[in-house]
Amino acid sequence: MTDERPAEPSPDSSDDEPDETDPARGDAVDGVSESGGDSGPTNDLTLAEFHDACQREGRPVLTAGAVARWLDQPHERVSERLTALSEEGELERLSVSTDPVVWYPSELDDLTERERVVVFPKRREIVVDRPAQFTRAQLSQFAHLADANGENGYRYVVRPEDVWQAPHESFESLERTVRQALGQRSPALEEWIHSQWDRAHQFRLTTHDDGYTVLEAKSAEVMGNVGRQKLDEEHVHAPISETEDWVRDGAEAAIKRLLYEAGYPVQDHRDLESGEDLPIDLTVGLREYQQTWVDRFSETGEGVFVGPPGSGKTVAAMGAMSHVEGETLILVPSRDLARQWADAVAEYTSLEPSQIGQYHGGQKNVRPVTIATYQIAGMDRHRSLFDDREWGLVIFDECQHVPSDVYRRSTHLQSRHRLGLSASPIREDDRQTEIFTLVGPPIGTDWQALFDAGFVAEPELEIRYVPWGDDEQRNAYVSAEGRERYRIAAENRGKVDEIRYLLSAHPDSKALVFVDYLEQGREVADAVDAPFLSGETPHHERRRLLEEFRRDERDLLVVSRVGDEGIDLPTADLAIVASGLGGSRRQGTQRAGRTMRPAGGALVYVLATRGSREEDFARRQLQHLGRKGMTVREQTVEPTDES
């Protein structure tokens, strides 16, 4: 029996009165009726206002009393106007036993097709039903897509960091974008956005004529009450004036982070070295949204490309390299990704292989474009190789690693331009804001827009609650505690039978099976007669297996946690997550993303042991994907006679 439910409920509009809005976006506005004439007295009822009442009531069929109550107009006057709209063919009337008359739009489908926007200024939320692509593009410039219910309903939240990174030269320009997106004015929301815009322009780092760095404040008050309260002698030498401080060498990143945490992002206007010129031509065309990412990056010289796996962040990053045309350092989590980056740069740009170097445990070559691992870049004995070179651009792949203490050392590499790449810059320690202070602001397109445009296929996700494979494991689970209990549920042998069943149900699919434990991976691989790719697999063997999978010479791989980020897995038609539900939301994103591709449908099955903590882990992990617009189903697997 299938139990389908939304990943997360829509916000309750009763918390906060929405702004007066024009929900019909183009019906009656500013006193002009839909027929084009003057709407007459202010208490005349227009079709747009009827739609507004329907929105507030949550029903497309209303009585005259309900309309009068919601619009705060006299009942008699509303009844007269409803009758007039009916005679004009705009509304239909229907007599029912419980009320003399109910009213509904003549074109009821039109109510469900139209774009509607409701603003909740106190919560700084915007709920949009069936938004046009233009509206979503405008909203993405100053708001964060927090929820998509899979039925063309979207909830946006305007956070401080969204305003701080808005791609506008002036508040007036941002204000126009806000009004275009909302189709109205929202004084309370606009006032708050203006206050955040001002915060983002209170501090900046500049380069003094003598070559050292200066922290400048917009006023003596903000320098004294914020800058000099948050910073100490570790960060600055001494005041230069009431609004200027002399910055210690190497303290720039710490200053940016501390002031960001205080609610004052720092504008970085330093004259950083741009490195040697390096002409780079991109040999492939960028999709429209990729070009938008590159354009946004070119305006500020820093940022994080955020998009689902398969959206082409690597190619977009090469577009940024082509824009900068400077020597580039690319930092990655593993040597496998370093090799794949080197191959991609050689394939998609005009650079010769001799201009591309790799620097990691396998080889150590510094070239105009160098791909290195985070670990190597952070080691003292190798740091000089990078610090001594003036990089025009530093790219942080899988940049959610950057805030980790071992990786943060690499952010001291100074460059005129910084770019991060991430499918999901979420960290379970809630330090993801550091990504944007250390690398740059988020730049991206909401996942649903890529699904709708067909650039990335939306996979179908299903959680399957699997019974225990035998009583021995079930009894061991009951008596175990902590992590041991979690591991027993993860390695439930009943999942092996379910994996076999799912693979047989999709015989023509290219499939990836994900596991968290080596012993389980070997057991599953033996059961389905497939290779097991793990951290123990030699690099040359990994390369061969992945190439065979890409060339359709192999249609099934069992993959350990190494597949989450350490290697660039090819896309598949089918993904089965057998264990790993206690992992991060980012891990769920990565694994589901292995099935995202430009064409065709794909399936992701998540197996959770029924009655164990895995049920909660599965829902928590996949709620994150549900909020990005994916549909998540749930299915209970009934035990077989044998079990």
Residue 211 and residue 195 share a domain: no
The domain in which residue 66 lies consists of 26-112
Residue 301 and residue 207 share a domain: no
Residue 6: count other Cβ atoms within 10 Å of its Cβ.
Answer: 16
Residue 301 and residue 423 share a domain: yes
Residue 518 and residue 434 share a domain: no
**Within a domain: 80:** yes
pLDDT at site 371:
94
User: Do 22 and 29 form a contact (C-beta atoms < 8 A)?
Assistant: yes
Q: What is the DSSP string of 545-568?
A: HHHHHHTTS--EEEE-THHHHTS-
**Where in 76-188 does DSSP place strands (E)?**
91-96, 99-105, 116-120, 125-129, 144-148, 153-157
**Within a domain: 20:** no
The tens digit of pLDDT for each residue in 169-200 reads 889 999 999 998 898 889 999 999 999 999 99
Residue 145 and residue 71 share a domain: no
**Within a domain: 16:** no
Residue 58 and residue 156 share a domain: no
Residue 302 has pLDDT above 90, yes or no: no
Residue 216 and residue 127 share a domain: no
In this structure, is the dihedral angle defined by the CA atoms of residues 337, 338, 342 and 343, taken in order, positive or negative? negative
**Within a domain: 189:** yes
**Within a domain: 4:** no
Helix (H, G, I), strand (E, B) or coil at 328: strand
pLDDT at site 386:
66
Q: What length is written for the chain?
A: 643
The tens digit of pLDDT for each residue in 245-281 reads 999 988 887 898 889 889 998 988 887 766 688 999 9
Residue 536 and residue 462 share a domain: yes
- For the chain, give the percent of residues with pLDDT over 70: 72
Residue 108 and residue 36 share a domain: yes
How many whole angstroms separate alpha carbon 31 and alpha carbon 253?
A: 53
Residue 49 has pLDDT above 70, yes or no: yes
Phi, psi of 554 (to 5 degrees): -145, 135
The tens digit of pLDDT for each residue in 127-163 reads 888 777 778 878 888 888 877 665 557 888 999 988 9
The tens digit of pLDDT for each residue in 338-356 reads 988 999 999 999 999 999 9
**CATH code at 478?**
3.40.50.300
**Within a domain: 330:** yes
Residue 576 and residue 482 share a domain: yes
pLDDT at site 39:
37
Q: What is the DSSP string of 614-628?
A: HHHHHHHHHHHHHTT
How many whole angstroms separate alpha carbon 394 and alpha carbon 330?
A: 6
